[in-house]
Amino acid sequence: MSAEDLRAEYLASGSGDSPRDSGRLDLIRGVLADEATWVEPPPQVVDALLAAVAREGSSSIKDPAAVGRARWPVVAAAVGSVAAVVALVFSTMSVLEADKEIVVAMTGTEIERGAGGQAAVGPSGSGWWIRLDATGLPPAPEGSFYEGWVWSDEGDGVSIGTFHLRGGDTPVTLWSGVEMAEYPSIWVTLEQEDDGPEASDLVVMTGRMPDA
């Protein structure tokens, strides 16, 4: 039975007080409570991954779009609407992404006492993204720029990108290729364009990963 047929059957079934609807709700609860339902990723994630593999020359996958969908039609049948399943998938993915995000409070130093804000940190396929939302930090003067750093407790620093804020104090996205648990401190320094690659002593903002 197609998704449209299921939807039509559901709409024709009447109010949610019927035994048919009660059975549907029980089925929904059973599917959503089953751990195996959530072990497999949503179809669009599987499709994108397998399509990428296929593009790399894998000839063993004949129908990437069909792989990994064995269980999700059960959810579609239980809910009775493809739109409802899509909404459920994306809301669940949003919750999971929010759970992965870590917010770090950033404070100004003696050099920039009025600076503050936060850095949202989250994992990506290539490392960690760091979205810095700074307030009260003035644009870097011409000939200079700000640079983000992550630092270990042993005193080792790794640059995570540069910016200048001359276009406004919109959030800045930085990237770390090292594990944040091992480099839990986040610094922002003011650098001169003709200086070397080392961090300057002009630290304007600092923060630290919680529980690190």
Domain of 61 in residue numbering reads as 3-99
- How many domains does the structure of the chain reveal? 2
Which one of 99, 118, 136 terminates a domain? 99
- Asked whether residue 66 falls in the same domain as residue 109, the answer is no
Residues 45 and 111 in one domain: no
Write out pLDDT tens, residues 110-168. Answer: 999 999 999 999 999 899 999 999 999 999 999 999 999 999 999 999 999 999 999 98
Report pLDDT for 25.
57
| Residues 82-97, mean pLDDT to the nearest whole number | 42
Whether 66 and 90 map to the same domain: the answer is: yes
Tokens (6 digits) for 157: 């620093």
Residues 17 and 81 in one domain: yes
Asked whether residue 112 falls in the same domain as residue 137, the answer is yes
Q: DSSP 3-state assignment of 6?
A: helix
The answer on 56 and 18 residing in a single domain is yes
95 and 106, same domain (yes or no): no
Give 173's strand partners. 131
Predicted pLDDT at 97: 44
Asked if 111 and 56 sit in the same domain, the reply is no
Question: For position 136, which CATH number holds?
Answer: 2.60.40.200
* Structure tokens that stand for 70 in this block: 């064995």
| Nearest by Cα to 199 from 165, 135, 167, 152 | 152
- In a shared domain, residues 108 and 93: no
Tell me the CB-side half-sphere exposure of residue 78, using CA atoms within 13 A. 17
**pLDDT single digits (tens) 32-61:** 666 655 555 556 555 665 666 566 555 444
C-alpha–C-alpha distance, residues 118 and 92, integer Å: 25
Q: Are residues 16 and 46 in the same domain?
A: yes
